[in-house]
Amino acid sequence: MDVEKLEKVCRILGKVHSILFITGAGISADSGLPTYRGIGGLYDQKHTDDGIPIEEALSGAMLAARPEITWKYVYQIEQSCRNAKYNRGHKVIAEMEQHFSRVWVLTQNIDGFHHQAGSKNIIDIHGDMHQLMCTRCGDVRHVADYCGLAIPPLCHACGAVIRPQVVFFGEMLPEEKYWQLAKEIEKGFDVIFSIGTTSVFPYIAGPVLEAKRRGWPVIEINPANTEVSHLADIKIAAGAAKTLDVIWTQFQSPSKSFSS
């Protein structure tokens, strides 16, 4: 990693009170999750073994018409996450929330790792696969995993199909989360971190564009170039967990050398 860039990040952190972290599938890669496309970035085949595109299988329309198809692939996604847990990158962000006056996380991930790591101010814009909701009566419950669930699972109260509270293809973003993001952006941030996301969605790239308009520094941590790399004041081409750990360790112990 570039020591000079890491030192610049630490200097910025020494002057700020508020931070927005924007995270994508890349921050969970160090937990062993694939950075694939599909809902939550966790699927990598053009077509499913049912012969249809994954975007069709994981759509709101398919859930309504043939919930067993949607649940088949939702279940596969959950299985890929089941034995994984949050990593040091998630934990560093949670620790920063305790240190700075105001810290928010905007995440595209549906794995729930930011919650598990201890962050409180989270806008999980695509939802959380562990939150299940009845499509008829609206009953909501949290599950640790999908073990024992039927495909599709049915509500114990009314018998209707249950769905994970995630945004499927063709569905709108949750209005309350969208407006929560807008409210926090309006308040402003002293610095924005874009971590492990390609930023292809307008609502993910939008805060970075707003940062440039309002003069907030932007720090990107991503091994690859993305839609917002050219806007970053500091671009660190490395993995999320190790980079965040190094930055946070150095920030808390400024006398310690990055190379030690």
Q: What is the pLDDT of residues 155-177, one digit of tens each?
A: 999 999 999 999 999 999 999 99
In a domain, 237, yes or no: yes
Domain extent for 22: 3-33+87-126+174-252
Q: What is the pLDDT of residue 46?
A: 61
Question: What confidence score (pLDDT) does residue 244 get?
Answer: 97
pLDDT at residue 54, rounded to an integer: 85
Q: Are 142 and 19 found together in one domain?
A: no
Tell which wins on pLDDT, 187 or 84. 187
Same domain? For 243 and 142 the reply is no
SS (H, E, C) the chain: CCHHHHHHHHHHHCCCCEEEEEECHHHHHHHCCCCCECHHHCECCCECCCCCEHHHHCEHHHHHHCHHHHHHHHHHHHHHHCCCCCCHHHHHHHHHHHHCCEEEEEECCCCCHHHHHCCCCEEECCEEEEEEEECCCCCEEECCCCCCCCCCCECCCCCCEEEEEECCECCCCCHHHHHHHHHHHHHCCCEEEEECCCCCCHHHHHHHHHHHHHCCCEEEECCCCCCCHHHCCEEECCCHHHHHHHHHHHHHCCCCCCCC
The answer on 238 and 148 residing in a single domain is: no
In which band, very low, low, confident or very high, does the pLDDT at 258 lie, cut at 50, 70 and 90?
Answer: low
Looking at the fold, whether 14 and 136 belong to one and the same domain comes out as no
Residues 197 and 245 placed together within one structural domain of the fold: yes
Tens digit of each residue's pLDDT (9 = 90 or more) over 194-237: 999 999 999 999 999 999 999 999 999 999 999 999 999 999 99
For residue 49, name the pLDDT band (cuts at 50, 70, 90): confident
| One domain, residues 48 and 61 | yes
Q: What is the pLDDT of residue 51?
A: 85
**pLDDT of 10-44, one tens digit each?**
999 999 999 999 999 999 988 988 665 555 555 55
- Tally of domains within the chain: 2
Q: Is residue 246 part of a domain?
A: yes
- Residue 126: active-site member: yes
The catalytic residue among 126, 130, 156, 230 is 126
Highest mean pLDDT among 41-50, 52-61, 110-119: 110-119
Residue 257 forms part of a structural domain: no
Is 259 a domain residue?
no
Task: Say yes or no: 24 and 136 in one domain.
Answer: no
* 115 has a pLDDT exceeding 80: yes
Residue 91 lies in a domain: yes
pLDDT for the residue numbered 44: 56
In a domain? residue 258: no
Give the pLDDT confidence score for residue 79 in this predicted structure. 86
Specify whether 139 is located in the same domain as 219: no
